[in-house]
Amino acid sequence: MSKRRWPRLAIPFALVLALMTGTVVVHAILEPDTAEHTYLSPEAHGSTSAGELAELLRAKGIAVKRETRSSDALLSAWRLKGNATLFIPTPEFVHPDYLWMLRQSPAKTRVVLVEPGTRQLLDAVPTLGVGPTRWATAVTSRGQGCTLTKAGPAAVTRTRYGGRDAHVCYDSGLVAQNFNGVEFVVAGSADPFRADRLSEHDNKTLAVDLLSAKQTVVWLDLHAMEPKPKTYSEEAGSGEVVPSLGPGRERTRPDASPGPTPSDAIDLELGGGSGPEPPNPWPAWLVPLLIMLLIIAIVIALARGRRLGAPVPEPLPIEVPGAEAAIGRSRLYRRARARGAALETLRIEARQRIAAALKVPNDRESILAARPDYEDLLFGPTPEDDQEMMRAMAQILREMPR
Q: What percent of the chain has pLDDT over 70?
A: 70
pLDDT tens digits, residue range 325-351? 566 666 776 676 777 777 787 888 888
pLDDT at 321 over 70: no
Residue 330 lies in a domain: no
Among 276, 297, 317, the domain-final residue is 276
Co-location of 258 and 379 in the same domain: no
Q: Which amino acid is at 94?
A: V
Work out the angle at residue 341's Cα, subtended by the Cα atoms of residues 335 and 345, and round it to the nearest 5 degrees.
115
Strand order in the sheet with 174-179: 63-67, 216-220, 85-88, 110-114, 182-187, 174-179, 167-169
Encode 329-364: b = buried (16+ Cβ within 10 Å), e = exposed.
eeeebeeeeebeebbeebbeebbeebbeebebeeee
Q: Which domain holds residue 250?
A: 31-276
Residue 131 lies in a domain: yes
Co-location of 253 and 379 in the same domain: no
| Whole-Å CA distances, 372 to 198, 353, 365, 367, 392 | 81, 16, 9, 8, 17
pLDDT for the residue numbered 20: 67
Among 276, 291, 320, the domain-final residue is 276
Which element (helix H / strand E) includes 185?
Answer: strand 182-187
Co-location of 269 and 342 in the same domain: no
pLDDT for the residue numbered 30: 58
Phi-psi region of 175 (alpha: psi -120 to 50; beta: other; left: phi over 0): beta
pLDDT for the residue numbered 109: 93
Among 229, 251, 276, the domain-final residue is 276
Co-location of 75 and 169 in the same domain: yes
pLDDT at 245 over 50: no
Q: What percent of the chain has pLDDT over 90?
A: 21
List, in order, residues 6 or more apart from 186 with CB less than 8 Å away.
Answer: 112, 113, 116, 121, 125, 128, 161, 174, 175, 176, 177
Report residue 1 CA to chain centroid gap.
Answer: 36
Co-location of 125 and 203 in the same domain: yes
Residue 146 lies in a domain: yes
Across the range 187-215, mean pLDDT stands at: 90
List, in order, residues 6 or more apart from 360 with CB less than 8 Å away.
Answer: 366, 367, 369, 370
pLDDT at 39 over 70: yes
Residue 4 lies in a domain: no
Co-location of 348 and 258 in the same domain: no
Give CA–CA dist 192/199, Å, rounded.
Answer: 9
Co-location of 66 and 136 in the same domain: yes
Give CA–CA dist 52/69, Å, rounded.
Answer: 22
Co-location of 56 and 165 in the same domain: yes
Residue 122 lies in a domain: yes
Co-location of 213 and 87 in the same domain: yes
- Rounded mean pLDDT of the chain? 77
Residue 281 lies in a domain: no
pLDDT tens digits, residue range 138-159? 889 988 889 899 999 998 988 8
Report how many domains make up the chain. 2
Residue 282 lies in a domain: no
Co-location of 377 and 248 in the same domain: no
pLDDT at 304 over 80: no
Across the range 287-313, mean pLDDT stands at: 70
